[in-house]
Structure 1
Amino acid sequence: MNQLLSCSIPLTATFRAGDILAFHGRDPQAVSERITANTLQKGMVWRGQAACLSVFFQPEQAEVQLLIDGAADDGDSQAAFDAMAYRMLGLTQDIEVFEAQYRDHPLLGALISQQAGLRVPLTATPFEALTWAITGQQISVGAAVSIRRRLILAADIRHSGGLFCSPEASQIAGLSEQTLRQAGFSLSKAQTLATLVELVEQKQLPLDAWVQKLPVEEARAALEAIRGIGPWTVNYTMLRGFGWLDGSLHGDVAVRKALQMLLGQTEKINEKDAKIWLEEFSPFRALVGAHLWSSLSKLA
């Protein structure tokens, strides 16, 4: 028996649905996400079961559904689903406070004006964000998308609607190092992913519990203790997985490129200088990074 969870979420007239669709529509082969002009369908694992998440964007409203292959109701499914939907759409982010504070900034103000209402789209789970961050270390987005696709296909979890599901730790735990290497992971990344999976399975990395209230320094220390995970991976994970807006993305090549353009400099900006520049905008440093990312997309 399938189970259906659903909710209706009010949106402002200026809500940027296109940002959500673009983030989840990066894979042109669409093996796990299917995008139309106003709809997102995403294969995911919900409490051990294959599921399909659907988001239907309407004027000033989003209709969100989760069709689960099998019963997965343990009493709090509806509340957990509602929280996931709000988080994925960026609705837990205090962008109004940020925009009011910096709309008159001599440099950032222009970006805010051009990109008003920008929110950071989130992954369905923190584990998905962390897996993506490890996958994307020091390679292009296109290469990371390809490796992610092969990982999803290797896990081979398919919803009855046809989409493959982004695997959780328990599914990746069943994959050998050789399989991860064949998917495109370097040896070091495969080992990092294996360590991560083991720690999640042993409850030493309570990612889902951290969603309720992110203990930033505790989480940072736990993640950076894993070989192969550094500050960029942690800050990116906290942004995309939890919606934490104060992680400094000075280590991100695209952020530094956009900052160089914003400042009108001819020389590349190094990590140290980017970090110093971003410090002014705490506790919104990651949101500034997202605005810088978005400014580059307009040039593509």
Structure 2
Amino acid sequence: MAVTSNKQGAAMQLCMALPENFRRQDFLAFHRRDADQLSEHVTEDSLLKGVVWQGQPACLSLFFTERNVSVTLDADTAWSADGQRTLEAWVGHMLGLTQPVAHFEQRFAADPVVGSLLQRQAGLRVPQSASAFEAVAWAIIGQQISVSVAIAVRRKLIQHASLLHASGLYCHPDAQTVAGMDEEQLKALGFSRSKAVALLGVARNEELVALLAQPVATAEQAEAVSSRLLAVKGIGPWTVSYALLRGFGWLDGSLHGDVAVRRNLQQLLQRPEKLSDKETAEWLRAFSPWRALMAAHLWAQQSSAGY
């Protein structure tokens, strides 16, 4: 991945090469979910996203060409010597550039059930949230409600946090900001009591927040995050698998409890009856250690944005 960089005032700029089969519309669709564009402004070839960087509001700008992405992080911060490397790794993670999608597609290219699906959706990567905490928050908000309702609740949370960058974009609150809220405030934003308890349980757990700031690259690390999250009241297996997928790029979580995954698998298998959680888990097991990536391909049958 070729990178060039320069500093301009308080901004760091990079230019990164993209893989030949990079599906930028998948990435942009994921960040286009909220039509109000309060925190993310998306066009056909760009994303401007409000983020919290080193505790302060910042703006991440990504401008895509066919084979490159120009990156600017406008942040009121003193850049360390490894600032370029940190920004490069973060953006590469968000874009899913380190995900072994070619290996996965090659492994199952001849599969009679999914081979043609993978060929049609070649290069599919799982776009990442800007932080693992943002992914966890979205997973909690999205429990057992429609995407449109979840988007509205997320928007209210972002507005309530009032982390506004000079660009005019609001930033998704970090754990420290959410920890300062209380249950009644969250309920007023549309959270159920159980979801408010869960989100605060994560945000106020300093050890868990520190763990969420670390990468997950092994099954042992994924298990450590899973066990800590499952210990929080109101968080179950679906929330954990989704957060691991969207926050860490961990591709082996089993999303068998996801309604869209079960529905689209039923369509793929041409089954007249709905599939149970158990049947879906059993089917996904054959794709380990890429079960969640297979689930993302099932999502993409319906929408490139996924959930």
Separation of aligned partners in 1, 2:217 and 2:153: 30
Gaps of 5+ in 2: 1-7
- Which residue of structure 1 lines up, in the alignment, with residue 29 of structure 2? 22
TM-superposed CA distance for 1:204, in Å, is 6.1
TM-superposed CA distance for 1:209, in Å, is 2.0
Q: Which secondary structure does the structure 2 equivalent of 1:262 belong to?
A: helix
Per-residue CA deviations over 1:23-67 (Å, capped at 9, x if unaligned) read 000001010000011000100100101001111101211111110
Separation of aligned partners in 1, 2:95 and 2:113: 27
What is the aligned-residue RMSD (CA, Å)?
1.8
Separation of aligned partners in 1, 2:289 and 2:38: 36
- Which residue of structure 2 lines up, in the alignment, with residue 86 of structure 1? 92
Match of 1:260 among 262, 266, 272: 266
Q: Which secondary structure does the structure 2 equivalent of 1:63 belong to?
A: strand
Separation of aligned partners in 2, 1:11 and 1:74: 25
Per-residue CA deviations over 1:250-296 (Å, capped at 9, x if unaligned) read 01000000000000011111100000000000001000000000001
Q: Which amino acid in structure 1 is aligned with residue 213 of structure 2?
A: D
TM-score (norm 1): 0.95
Per-residue CA deviations over 1:87-137 (Å, capped at 9, x if unaligned) read 000101000000001111111111111111100000111111011111101
Contact 1:47/1:72, CA 8 A, preserved across alignment: no
Gaps of 5+ in 1: none
2:209 is the counterpart of 1:209: no
Match of 1:106 among 112, 127, 133: 112
Moved more, 42-51 or 212-221: 212-221
2:284 is the counterpart of 1:278: yes
Separation of aligned partners in 1, 2:250 and 2:208: 22
Match of 1:52 among 55, 59, 64: 59
Aligned counterparts, 1:1-300, within 5 A: 3-68=10-75, 70-199=76-205, 201=206, 205-211=210-216, 215-297=221-303
Moved more, 87-96 or 173-182: 173-182
Contact 1:205/1:222, CA 8 A, preserved across alignment: no
Separation of aligned partners in 2, 1:221 and 1:165: 29
Change (3 A) 1:236 1:153: same
Q: Which secondary structure does the structure 2 equivalent of 1:88 belong to?
A: helix
Q: Which secondary structure does the structure 1 equivalent of 2:16 belong to?
A: strand
